[in-house]
Amino acid sequence: GSHSVTLWARDAEQARQMQQERANTRYLRGVQFPASLQVVSGDAVAQAADADLIVLGTPMAALREWLTQLAQVRVPVVWLCKGFEAVRAGAPEGSVGLLAHEVCQQVAPDLQCGVLSGPSFADEVARHQPTALVAASAFPGVSQLLVDAFHGEALRVYANSDIIGVEVGGAVKNVLAIATGLCDGLALGLNARAALITRGLAEMSRLGLALGARAETFMGLSGLGDLVLTATGDLSRNRKVGLALAKGMTLAQAVESLGHVAEGVYSARTVHARARLLGVEMPITETVVDLLDGRLAVADAVHSLMTREPRGELDTSP
Ligand SMILES: NC(=O)c1ccc[n+]([C@@H]2O[C@H](COP(=O)([O-])OP(=O)(O)OC[C@H]3O[C@@H](n4cnc5c(N)ncnc54)[C@H](O)[C@@H]3O)[C@@H](O)[C@H]2O)c1
Ligand SMILES: O=P(O)(O)OC[C@H](O)CO
């Protein structure tokens, strides 16, 4: 667009190269940077202080560190991360990982903050292919700022004040995409895939409601929308992890072969732990966790899901 945008990268040499080549050849091959984009490195907090909006494009694992550094800035801060924090090594017994807005409440409670989410493979966004997003924030001014900054010919941005629902959708869909990748990798069929997506949406919604989200959010872009995209779209890194596991790769090999983050791998245990604390049943997530932790073999996963006790489709009790 016409905004002046500064992309900060932690690696000075890579920043210099991107600025010179006008492209990010490692992560976004074949996309030319617009003239309005400048790439810099160095003191990020000092450089961000004069901006109108700060967008954090790091994986979930780096969010706490960045929100801590930015806690005193007066500029609105939004993130693109989709996940729960992984349970930190050495964390006290019983502690669980947080959603991004919970991390923000903890380390930067004074920030005007929000999230941009929804079905959006970066590659397609960068090529201006039509995409619809959700801007969620407890601060109406921040959602409006996101709409003003990003809404345009190729991007529609819808505001939603239910940040819990938007973040639960973005986090849980990654875990479910690993399951769907596995399902497709094992050639279990189209019926099985539709069942996984639909029952996955049910367990995502149950967790969300228990955490205080609104049910309608799960029928929206950051819920059903992003679940369908990530579970069925071959660009998904989480889906690729499932496909790789089905081929017999170890988790370490699957993660290594990606070269990008697959947040579902790091969020799955936290999703499961928080569901258990709330008494919410999430059988697909539980199966993914058992697979990732090596307690369940790929070949036994289907049996484990199919032999559960019958239940009503609309049951919400565990
Ligand atoms: N790629 C997509 O299509 C897409 C779409 C929507 C949301 N997301 C979400 O955005 C987040 C990032 O995903 P991605 O696709 O960019 O991952 P990626 O693995 O492709 O790239 C991550 C980038 O973050 C940088 N990084 C890592 N740790 C950092 C730190 N401590 N400080 C600064 N930079 C750091 C890496 O160097 C790399 O450039 C994830 O939470 C993901 O779920 C991704
Ligand atoms: O490649 P994935 O699986 O991280 O999915 C990317 C985006 O979250 C899709 O909206």
pTM: 0.97
For the Cβ of 62 lying below 6 angstroms from any atom of ligand 1, the answer is yes
ipTM of the modeled complex = 0.98
Which of 121, 123, 227 for a ligand 2 pocket mutation test, highest count of atoms within 8 Å of Cβ?
121
Asked about 240 being catalytic, the answer comes back as no
Residue 249, judged by CB atoms within 10 A of its CB (0-12, 13-18, 19+), counts as: middle
CA angle (287, 288, 293) in 5-degree steps: 100
CA distance linking residue 298 with residue 177, whole number of Å: 15
**Which pLDDT tens digits describe the chain residue by residue (318 residues)?**
578 999 999 999 999 999 999 999 999 999 999 999 999 999 999 999 999 999 999 999 999 999 999 999 999 999 999 999 997 777 777 788 999 999 999 999 999 999 999 999 999 999 999 999 999 999 999 999 999 999 999 999 999 999 999 999 999 999 999 999 999 999 999 999 999 999 999 999 999 999 999 999 999 999 999 999 999 999 999 999 999 999 999 999 999 999 999 999 999 999 999 999 999 999 999 999 999 999 999 989 888 888 888 889 998 876
CA distance linking residue 264 with residue 182, whole number of Å: 13
Atom index in ligand 2 nearest the CA of residue 263 equals 4
In this predicted structure, what is the pLDDT of residue 317?
73
Q: Which ligand is nearest to the CA of 80?
A: 1
CA distance linking residue 111 with residue 74, whole number of Å: 7
Residue ranges covered by each domain of the chain:
1-42, 171-306
Q: CATH number of the domain at 171-306, please? A: 1.10.1040.10
For the Cβ of 238 lying below 6 angstroms from any atom of ligand 2, the answer is yes
123 C-alpha to ligand 2 centroid (Å): 10
For the Cβ of 122 lying below 6 angstroms from any atom of ligand 1, the answer is yes
CA distance linking residue 310 with residue 25, whole number of Å: 50
Catalytic residue from among 15, 41, 83, 173: 173
